[in-house]
Structure 1
């Protein structure tokens, strides 16, 4: 269970990024965060893995508050939080399987990480995960040779090998063509259920959010406007969220 309680963040005294944000998410749920650019969606994700420090509130992962963790505790918590990036964040010159195995670095000593010392079990698991995302035959290919959709699937496998409780996705399909975007979203949906994890994705595409998400969180000017099942997202709520009627293409 992930619980966010009364989370607040200001970058300046007169500029509030997040104001009293509270929500909870059960394992096995795929959640989309939507809202206008600058609403605070990315700030929420960066808060959840403590890449930024908030001003107040709680972020509870299985009843442990990430905000009060010391450096050693936070390092352990971050093993449980995978990240999928809009720009993939892969090492392009390395092979696909090497990039997937990087998901195990949080469990390694500095020396083992530098020299890429992975166990046979880890290598076998990497291959199993590549098979799940449809890239087993690309395991020894350099990531620089892959398409955008394939790179994002490598990122999914890299996150899963961490054995995460939560996966955070920051605009995971923004750079993809429509077919690749559907493939990635379908994978995220299926793997969230299969591994009984929490997946949270920032999305601009409302139609995609409604199609794949179990739960939608709507953010406007740093405040929570909507937190309900995706099926309950109405045109009135969208108009409030975006300060105008949403076009048919986005629905």
Structure 2
């Protein structure tokens, strides 16, 4: 279980980026975070794996507070938190399977990581995960030759090979066409259930958040204004979040 309790963060004095943010997510659930640009969505995600240091609160993963970790403990926790990036964050000159195997680097010694030494079991698992995301036939192709949607599916496979408890997705479909966006969202939903993990995704596409997420958290000016099942998201809530009517986004 992932629990966020009273999370607070300021980048500048008297200008809070997050104020008293609390929510929780059970394994097997997909949580979408929505809100206008600058609301604090990315700050929440970067706090969850401690890429930034917040000011106060708790981030509990199965009861253990990540915020109190020393460097060694944080390294172990980060193995359990996969990331899917808006810009894919792949090594374009390397093959698809090599990029997927990079998800194992957190388990490797410096020497093994430098020389790309992976076990046969890891290579087999990488191929199995590529099969799950529909890319097994592309395993030996360079990532530079893939479409955006395919690259994002490589990123999903890379995160899964970490054996994570949580996958964090920062605008995972922002650069994709509508068909690829649905493919990626469907995969994230399906794999969240199949692997019984937690998926937390920042999204601007409200209709897709409502379609695929189990729950939606709405953030405005660093404050939590909505935390309910996705079916409860209404035009009135969206007007509160965005200061305008965007009913078409619910279609």
TM-score bracket for this pair, using the shorter chain length: over 0.9
* Inter-partner Cα distance in structure 2 for 1:27 and 1:202: 18
Deviation at 1:45, TM superposition (A): 0.2
Contact 1:40–1:220 (8 Å) recurs in 2: yes
Once the two structures are superposed, what CA deviation does each residue of 1:24-52 show, in whole Å capped at 9, x if it has no partner? 00000011000000000000000000000
1:58-87, CA deviations, whole angstroms, 9 ceiling, x for partnerless residues? 000000000000000000000000000000
TM-score by length of 1: 0.99
The residue that corresponds to 1:40 in the other structure is 40
Q: Which residue is 1:177 aligned to?
A: 177
Aligned match of 1:208: 208
Q: Given the alignment of the two structures, is residue 54 of structure 1 paired with residue 54 of structure 2, yes or no?
A: yes
The Cα of 1:14 is off from its aligned counterpart by 2.1
CA distance in 2, matches of 1:97, 1:248: 40
Q: Which runs of 5+ in 1 are unaligned?
A: none
Partner of 1:3 in structure 2?
A: 3
Cross-structure match for 1:115:
115
Structure 2 equivalent of residue 17 of structure 1: 17
Q: How many residues align?
A: 251
2: CA distance, partners of 1:230 / 1:177? 23
Distance 1:249 1:3, change over 3 A: closer
Equivalent pair of 1:11/1:17 in contact (CA under 8 Å): yes
CA distance in 1, matches of 2:107, 2:153: 22
Other structure's SS at 1:226 match:
strand
- Moved segments of 4+, more than 4 Å: none
Q: Give 2:75's aligned residue.
A: 75
The runs of 5 or more residues in structure 2 that have no matched partner are none
| C-alpha separation in 2, matches of 1:17 and 1:29 | 26
CA contact (8 A) 1:169 1:202 kept: yes
Three-state SS of the structure 1 residue aligned to 2:194 is helix
Give the 5 Å matches for 1:148-159. Answer: 148-159=148-159
Distance 2:69 2:131 in 1: 36
- Given that 1:127 and 1:136 are in contact with CA atoms closer than 8 Å, whether structure 2 keeps it comes out as yes
Tell me how far apart the structure 2 counterparts of residues 10 and 43 of structure 1 sit (CA, whole Å). Answer: 10
RMSD across aligned positions (CA): 0.7
Q: Is the CA contact (8 Å cut-off) linking 2:210 and 2:250 kept in structure 1? A: no
The structural deviation recorded for 1:249 is 4.3
Secondary structure, aligned partner of 1:19: strand
Query: SS of the residue aligned with 1:248?
Result: helix
